[in-house]
Chain A
Amino acid sequence: MTLAWTSVAPAVSAAFLSSLVEAVEALTIVLSVASVRGWRPAGLGALAGLASLALIVLALGPLLDRVPLHALQLVIGVLLLLFGMRWLRKAILRAAGVIPLHDEALAFATGTAALREQARHHNTRLDWLAGLASYKAMVLEGLEVVFVVIAVGAGRGLLAPASIGALAACALVAVVGFAVHRPLARVPENTLKFTVGVMLSAFGVFWTGEGLGVPWPGEDLAILGFAALFLIVAVAAVRLVRLPAAQPIS
């Protein structure tokens, strides 16, 4: 079976970019844990989180084949709309200066301070608490990655390419993060979230419409059209609500 690039490219890039954002956030928390309590609880928590994610995928993955296609498209489409437009809303408000930009260095400092505070009260249980923080970060951020991969890949035979995109992003962040040993604060997080929000919202409209039986003109190419529409409207929305002295999108 050959896959058209118009289907593969948006799915792979959406999976790659969203996984990049999630992996950077997970890395920040794992590094916070490691800096306060060492690599043992941080690594064990992260590994346990990855194992839980693998179990969830193995348990729920086969169920996807049993769901009728239109119902699956509709549910995934609506969830993608909720997920993608939530990211896009936040990215627009951050770009417009209404809410502050996400700061990985600040998140790292806050996470580290919270763990140190816990150390004062629960010193004997701190390894356990630190491991749990690492585990929770890995599971929650990983679930977002799993959701995006399933959402953009299921129903069109794109699970493998989308998974490769997501795994590539996670591997890239892991390699760079552990090489530099500090949070990846220079990653343009809001630009990534803006882009991913646009793409996921476009996928959401497409899948929801497919679930409702809408015959989109151009079939898969419609996704690119929706992405262009969301991008134009989102950039216009930034200008509309921009406060004085706000930061640009990129």
Chain B
Amino acid sequence: MRTLIGIFGELAGLFIDDGLLALAIGVVVVFAALVAAIAPAVPIAAGIVLVVGCLGALVGNVTRAGKR
């Protein structure tokens, strides 16, 4: 049982290492989905939010980690 729990823990770890980065990615995706729903006439707007948001989340996260 402990082995199974360990495997599930490691499976979650495949996708989530730094909780703040995962949270930031989630926020960016939700925001992009909102933009896609609010402005269906300009679908590329959601794409721009997604690209800029992900790059911003990455830079913000590594900069914060570098300062610690």
A residues with a Cβ closer than 8 A to B are 78-79, 81-83, 85-86, 88-90, 92-93, 96, 98, 132, 136, 139-140, 143-144, 147, 201, 204-205, 208-209, 212-217, 226, 229-230, 233-234, 236-237, 240-241, 243
With both chains docked as a complex, state the minimum distance between the C-beta of B40 and any C-beta of chain A, in angstroms.
8
Tell me, in angstroms, the Cα distance from A83 to B55 when the chains sit together.
15
What per-residue 1/0 map shows which CB atoms of B37-63 lie under 8 Å from chain A? 000100110110011001101110111
- Contact yes or no, B66 A240, CB < 8 A: yes
Tell me, in angstroms, the Cα distance from A28 to B19 when the chains sit together.
28
Pick the residue among A89, A96, A229 that contacts B61 (CB under 8 A): A89
In the complex, B1 has a CB within 8 A of chain A: no
Tell me, in angstroms, the Cα distance from A93 to B40 when the chains sit together.
38
Total cross-chain contacts (CB, 8 A): 113
B residues with a Cβ closer than 8 A to A are 3, 6-7, 10-11, 14-18, 21-22, 25-26, 29, 32-33, 36, 40, 43-44, 46-47, 50-51, 54-55, 57-59, 61-63, 65-67
Pick the residue among A205, A237, A240 that contacts B51 (CB under 8 A): A205
Tell me, in angstroms, the Cα distance from A4 to B41 when the chains sit together.
30
- Contact yes or no, A83 B44, CB < 8 A: no
Nearest opposing residue in chain B for A147, CB measure: B14
Nearest opposing residue in chain B for A78, CB measure: B29
Known: A212-B32, A237-B59, A240-B59. A83 touches B51 (CB 8 A): no
Residues of A within 8 A of B15 (CB): 79, 82-83, 86
